[in-house]
Amino acid sequence: MRAQRCLLIACLLAAIASCLNQPAAAQPSNVLLIAIDDLRPELGCYGASHLISPNIDRLASQGMLFRHAYCQQALCNPSRCSLMTGQRPDSIGITSNHAHSRKIRMW
């Protein structure tokens, strides 16, 4: 048992040491998150030809565009609170648009 524990510790230390020797990954200098209620992917950058959205399309072409984004619930308030807290709507107690997030302790 002691030998297994020593081997595990040695492996962990080796993994940590190999991470320390890696050069730092390039990190984005600016992050812009645009969250709009009820928009759906109805923009030119998502392939919608019936709408004209040149400014957002330009932003999408110069940055990162998420094509597989999902929401926690099909209502605005629970999804927005879930995004802000990182928790599921049922965990924070906001499951409808009529729940007041300021009255419920979310964090």
Q: Is the pTM of this model over 0.85?
A: no
Cα 36 to Cα 69: distance, rounded to the nearest angstrom: 13
For residues 98-107, average pLDDT: 71
Q: Which of 17-31, 47-61, 86-100 has the lowest mean pLDDT?
A: 17-31
The pLDDT assigned to 58 comes to 93
Cα 5 to Cα 53: distance, rounded to the nearest angstrom: 59
pLDDT in tens, 38-71: 677 788 998 998 988 899 899 889 888 888 877 7
Structure tokens at 83: 């995004």
| Helix, strand, coil content of the chain in percent (nearest 5) | 40, 0, 60
Residue keyed to tokens 């030809």:
49
pLDDT in tens, 74-85: 888 888 888 888
**Longest distance between any two alpha carbons in the chain, whole Å:** 68
